Amino acid sequence: MNLEKVISGFFIILAMTLNFGFFYGDIDDISQHSKYELFAAIVVNLIATTLKLGDRTQMGSVLLATSLVADIQLIAAATVWTIGAYAYALDSSTIVLVVSLSGGALLANFVSVVLYVGDTLKSKR
Amino acid sequence: MNNSALWIVLHRMRAPLLVLIVTYTIAIIGFLLIDGMDNNGKVYHMNIFDAFYVVTYTATTIGFGEIPYAFTYGQRIWMSMIVYATVMGWFYSLGSIISLFQDKLLLAQIAESRFRKQIKNLNQSFLIVLGYNYTTSEIIKKANKEGVRTVVIEKDEHKINELNLENFTPAVPCLMGDVYDPLALEKAGLNSKYCKAVVSLFADDNLNLRVALTAKLLNKNVKLAIKSTTNDQSEDLRDLGVEIVENPYEIIAEQIDIALRNPYMGILEKWLHGIGTLDDEIKYLPKGKYLVYGFGKLGRKIYQVLNNNGIEVSFIIPSDEDIESIPKDMLNIVKFYETDEDESLLIEDIKNSSAIIARSTSDTLNLSILARSRKLNPNIVTIARESEMAYLSIFENANIDFVFIPSKVLIEKTTNALLAPYSSKFIEMVKEQQELDFAEKVILRIKNKIGSNPITFGLTVEKEKSYAIWNSLVNKKRIITLDVCRRSRSNWQEHNKILPLILIRNSQVYLLPSWDMELELDDKVLFVSDEESKNDLRWISKNIYEFYYVYFGKEKNMFNKLFKGGY
């Protein structure tokens, strides 16, 4: 068992699950999407990204890329939400935008997990 | 992934970034949970954005204050705890970035990627010079003057700094690395189509051989200029296909030979190498008995040279030289003066000799024996070898009759062979002439026609270098003789101060070709002239209007005629 693998695997999968938790629910109903879950998803995603930094293998580069995509999508969702809430009214179209952005991040996170699992299965140990 | 510098930064920033993310998150969560109070005394919970805002400006030590409402004590306690964690996390990240940019590994990577970029953008012919010292810096200067760029590989950081301080124009890219490392040579552009030659003039023969081998294996078309100090070494290098093999010891022996036999040749050579003028005083070496101080690698060569000229030689061996290194068959001409009785013999020998050559490895010993000899025998001709070339020479001030500086000759030979191959060819041809006073005649002819310190330059009949001549020859099918080259641009019937030294056609070489010789495509001609005539010929060879004028004796078209007539 490799502690480093456990930690990075933990964060990669946690990033996906939190992301899914936020995404799940009616797309235009704000009461079904917790802002705290979005916050947690962003933090875990950032940690997962940092853990992937500096891995020079081909797999490491692709994982880093997917993670960066998820980060950008989630941070964009949070930014849209903040601007919507403070600068304008929080109407249903803003909520749809926030949730769909997090849906995109979920897809990136999913790819990341698939790659990670595939890589683990491929390795002999 | 070749961008290693970026990867190093990313890798090193992992821990600081994690610390930053974790401390921020803890701080934000704390503010979300702790009860606050609004102006009306109601319980208020910060939302995520407020918490992030507060933590952000506190962690960066900006500190805007307590917003949106004055903090409760619970919030203040949390803030005073969290401030240390976040501020320290922030400083830790900054410190890591700053220390990263002082990291040797990263700096080396950045320097290397910059070097690679420089080589990639080098779109003109260049030399790869191995090692940076006085000799190679002179070569770099000469190459820059000729419009040939140079690239240096050097292992020593101090020498790299010296090179950077020298401020060469155009800039000389320098790679830090082992000169025999194939990767370093490849990075320096050995396989580039612009790479003209590799120059390796180390004192260590094995190192030179290793460089030659590596370079030839990597790119067999590249020219090599390699120093060698023994005959075996020279053989090995020639077998490898090295074009220019330089042996400084042979060079000195050859110079002594020339000075004995044909001093005019020496003058001609010095002038072509740019270290003298044609007016230099001719120094004859005496033909009497010679004393040589020190045997070394040169001993046998000097013996042969002097013997061939019918001169009696005896060697004195300095105390620090190893007797074992002297070949057995030479021992009979070697003398040892060790005891006090020998001392008087030495004095006797010095008094009877007409010249003394001091060429032991120590400059100090050489100078002292020369000073002593001169005291004992005021008529003796003193000859010395200066082992290393320096910016300030003590030999110059010691009134020595002949000073041979191998490194100086090495510089001249190398640069001429690489940058001005025609003049090397010319010297070779003159040396081959049977007539003993040939060199003297050539010098007289040049001096009468042009002056005592004329310049030389090459002309190649090809499209890129001499368009006008090429155009007339190929497109107009005109017959062009060398005579065109000496006509003046101001009056075509007048002749410039110019002489052709050699004309190279394929493998054929014509020494001092006559003016009515016809030019052909790809001919290479070495001219000697003054500055003005060189300028004239440059114009004539490149500009079709100038060429037309000197060829036909009139301006090329009506417009030009009218234009000139207007003046």
Can you give the pLDDT of all 567 residues of chain B as single tens digits?
A: 456 777 778 888 888 999 999 999 999 999 999 988 888 889 988 888 999 999 999 988 888 888 888 898 889 989 988 999 999 999 998 898 888 888 888 888 888 888 888 888 888 889 999 989 888 888 898 888 888 899 999 988 898 888 888 888 888 888 888 888 888 888 888 888 888 889 988 888 888 888 888 888 888 888 888 888 887 888 888 888 888 888 877 777 887 888 888 888 888 887 887 777 887 777 778 888 888 887 777 777 788 888 888 888 877 777 666 666 677 666 666 666 655 566 777 777 778 888 888 877 777 888 888 888 888 888 888 888 776 655 556 777 777 887 777 777 788 788 888 877 788 788 888 888 877 788 888 888 888 888 877 888 888 888 888 888 888 888 888 888 888 888 888 888 888 888 888 888 888 888 888 888 888 888 888 888 888 888 888 888 888 888 888 888 877 766 655 555 444
| Nearest residue to B260 (alpha-carbon basis) of B354, B195, B171 | B354
Mutate to test the interface with A, among B3, B10, B67 (most CBs of A within 10 A): B10
Report pLDDT for B563: 59
The answer to whether B21 contacts A61, with C-beta atoms less than 8 Å apart, is no
Q: Do B25 and A43 touch (CB under 8 A)?
A: yes
Average pLDDT over residues A100-118: 93
In chain B, which residues have their Cβ closer than 8 Å to the Cβ of A46? 21
Considering only residues 14 to 53 of chain B, which have any Cβ-Cβ distance to chain A shorter than 8 Å?
Answer: 14, 17-18, 21-22, 25, 28, 32, 47-49
Chain A residues whose beta carbon lies within 8 Å of the beta carbon of residue B93: none
Pairing of strands B355-358, B455-460: unpaired
Q: Chain A within 8 Å of B7 (Cβ-Cβ)?
A: yes
Mutation for testing the A interface, residue in B3, B22, B49 having most A CBs under 10 Å:
B49
Taking the C-alpha atoms of residue B410 and residue B296, their distance in angstroms, rounded to an integer, is 19
Q: How far apart are CA B204 and CA B348, in angstroms?
A: 39
Query: What are the sequence ranges of the domains in chain A?
Result: 3-122
Residue of B nearest to A55 (CA): B11
Does B12 contact A at CB distance below 8 Å? Answer: yes
Size of interface A-B (CB pairs under 8 A): 37
Contact B48 A35 (CB under 8 A): yes
Q: What's the rounded Cα separation, in Å, for the pair A108 and A110?
A: 5
- Confidence at residue B566, expressed as pLDDT on a 0 to 100 scale: 42
Show residues of chain B in contact with A86, CB under 8 Å. 49
Q: Residue B222, Cβ neighbours under 10 Å: how many?
A: 18
Angle CA B278–B282–B287, to nearest 5: 150
**B164 DSSP 8-state letter:** H
Element housing B419 (H / E): helix B406-419
pLDDT at B334: 67
How far, CA to CA in Å, does B112 sit from each of B119, B171, B188, B459, B499?
11, 16, 10, 39, 48
Residue B54 confidence (pLDDT): 93
Q: Which residue of A has its CA nearest to B5?
A: A54
Do A54 and B14 lie within an 8 Å CB cutoff?
A: yes
The residue assigned the tokens 């040892």 is: B336
Dihedral angle of Cα B242, B244, B249, B252, to the nearest 10 degrees: 160
What is the least distance, in Å, from the CA of B53 to any CA of chain A? 12
Length of chain B: 567
DSSP result, B455-468: EEEEEE-STTT-HH
For residue B196, give the nearest of B135, B282, B277, B127 by alpha carbon.
B127
B284 touches chain A (CB under 8 A): no
How far is the alpha carbon of A62 from chain B, nearest alpha carbon, in Å?
Answer: 13
Element at A35 (helix H, strand E): helix A35-52
Q: Around B524, how many Cα atoms within 13 Å sit in the side-chain half-sphere?
A: 14
Mark yes or no for CB contact A47/B1 under 8 Å.
no
Q: Is B405 exposed, middle or buried (0-12, 13-18, 19+ CB in 10 A)?
A: buried
Neighboring chain B residues of A51 at a CB cutoff of 8 Å: 14, 18
> Which tokens belong to B455?
């310049």
| Chain A hits for B97, Cβ within 8 Å | none
Query: Is the separation of the CB atoms in B22 and A47 below 8 Å?
Result: yes
Q: Cβ–Cβ of A46/B21 closer than 8 Å?
A: yes
Mutate to test the interface with A, among B7, B31, B93 (most CBs of A within 10 A): B7
CB B135 within 8 A of CB B389: yes
